């Protein structure tokens, strides 16, 4: 190993083993997609100037409905390479997602390649998207995975919460869409920051950082609901398929 390589953090060495996700389609499709979606929905972005204009950033949206992922990719102030469940990477949809620069994630098994790809994007000054709740739900952050905090500890990138409101109606299923001409609000929070921690990071350190991020997101969620006069849709209907999802593994906690 050369001297420059030896001096680099272990996590960033791993990111050299993967390619940066595709960017051209992600950049070029967003304006067209916005026009199409605005024919169906009224999408309002609030305090988007809180998002750093340059440099690495981690977007951490709440997750209440099916439309959250597409809205993140299309309306975020910067092009986002979002972690997307592996089940979506099948057939033509999978080819499209890869072409659009999204990152495949196995939620049920350790997935070091997904982690390395996220680090690669952030190392290159790009934007990564992670839904801390792991799956669609009430949006109350009662379930909170540690991926966003872990990546912040690895890279020092700020985490910008996004509170999604209006992508699912109260009582509607996880696969439902907002009503036509419905209003969707995307409220951006102040960036949450933590100093990059040198390897090895302990599980306790990751959990502490994740708890701090969750408290920040709860505060941003309360602010967003006051700002818009809206509330979260509440729990999914009994028997909804998303109840069967166990979420991401503890790979984020134990990678080191």
Please compute the mean of the pLDDT values over residues 229-241 and round it to a whole number. 93
The tens digit of pLDDT for each residue in 142-181 reads 999 999 999 999 999 999 999 999 999 999 999 999 999 9
Answer yes or no: is 173 within a domain: no
Could you tell me which residues come within 8 angstroms of residue 5 by beta carbon, excluding any fewer than 6 positions away?
13
Please compute the mean of the pLDDT values over residues 230-243 and round it to a whole number. 91
Answer yes or no: is 83 within a domain: yes
Q: 243 or 176: whose pLDDT is higher?
A: 176
Q: Is the dihedral of CA 122, 167, 241, 236 positive or negative?
A: positive
Residue 12 has pLDDT above 50, yes or no: yes
Which of 53-62, 89-98, 239-248 is modeled with the greatest confidence? 53-62
Q: 254 or 112: whose pLDDT is higher?
A: 112
Answer yes or no: is 51 within a domain: yes
Q: 188 or 16: whose pLDDT is higher?
A: 188
* Residue 11 pLDDT: 55
What does the block give as tokens for 89? 């990477």
* Residue 241 pLDDT: 84
Number of domains within the chain? 1
Residue 139: closest CA among 234, 256, 48: 234
Taking the model in full, what pTM does it have?
A: 0.89
Domain region containing 45? 3-168+179-254
- Positions of E strands within the chain: 42-46, 57-61, 80-85, 103-105, 127-129, 159-165, 183-188
Answer yes or no: is 174 within a domain: no
The tens digit of pLDDT for each residue in 86-121 reads 888 888 888 788 888 899 998 888 888 899 999 999
Distance (Å, whole) CA 249 – CA 256: 14
pLDDT averaged over every residue in the chain: 88
Q: 37 or 244: whose pLDDT is higher?
A: 37
Q: The CATH number of the domain where 12 resides is what?
A: 3.40.1130
The tens digit of pLDDT for each residue in 202-223 reads 899 999 999 999 999 999 999 9
Q: Are 162 and 143 in contact (CB under 8 A)?
A: no
Answer yes or no: is 242 within a domain: yes
Q: 70 or 246: whose pLDDT is higher?
A: 70
Residue 147: closest CA among 17, 59, 52: 59
Answer yes or no: is 139 within a domain: yes
**Listing from the earlier edge strand, what are the strands of the sheet with 57-61?**
42-46, 183-188, 159-165, 57-61, 127-129, 80-85, 103-105
Number of helices (H), then strands (E), belonging to the chain: the values are: 9, 7
Answer yes or no: is 195 within a domain: yes
Answer yes or no: is 146 within a domain: yes
């Amino acid at each position: 190993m050369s001297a420059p390589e030896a001096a680099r953090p272990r996590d960033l060495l791993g990111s050299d083993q993967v390619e940066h996700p595709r960017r051209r389609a992600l950049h070029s499709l967003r304006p067209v997609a916005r026009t199409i979606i605005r024919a169906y929905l009224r999408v309002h972005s609030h305090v988007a100037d809180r998002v750093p204009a340059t440099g690495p950033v981690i977007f951490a949206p709440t997750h209440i409905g099916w439309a959250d992922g597409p809205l993140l990719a299309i309306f975020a102030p910067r092009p986002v390479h979002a972690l997307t469940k592996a089940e979506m990477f099948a057939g033509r949809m999978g080819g499209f997602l890869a072409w659009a620069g999204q990152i495949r994630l196995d939620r049920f098994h350790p997935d070091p390649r997904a982690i390395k790809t996220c680090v690669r994007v952030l190392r290159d000054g790009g934007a990564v998207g992670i839904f801390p709740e792991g799956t669609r739900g009430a949006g109350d952050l009662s379930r909170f995975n540690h991926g966003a905090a872990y990546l912040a500890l690895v890279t020092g990138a700020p985490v910008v919460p996004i509170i999604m409101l209006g992508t699912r109606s109260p009582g509607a299923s996880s696969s439902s869409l907002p009503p036509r001409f419905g209003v969707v609000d995307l409220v951006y929070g102040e960036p949450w920051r933590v100093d990059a921690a040198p390897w090895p990071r302990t599980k306790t350190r990751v959990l502490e950082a994740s708890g701090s991020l969750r408290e920040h997101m709860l505060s941003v969620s309360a602010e967003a609901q006051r700002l818009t006069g809206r509330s979260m849709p509440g729990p999914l209907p009994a028997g909804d398929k998303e109840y069967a999802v166990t979420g991401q593994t503890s790979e984020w906690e134990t990678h080191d």
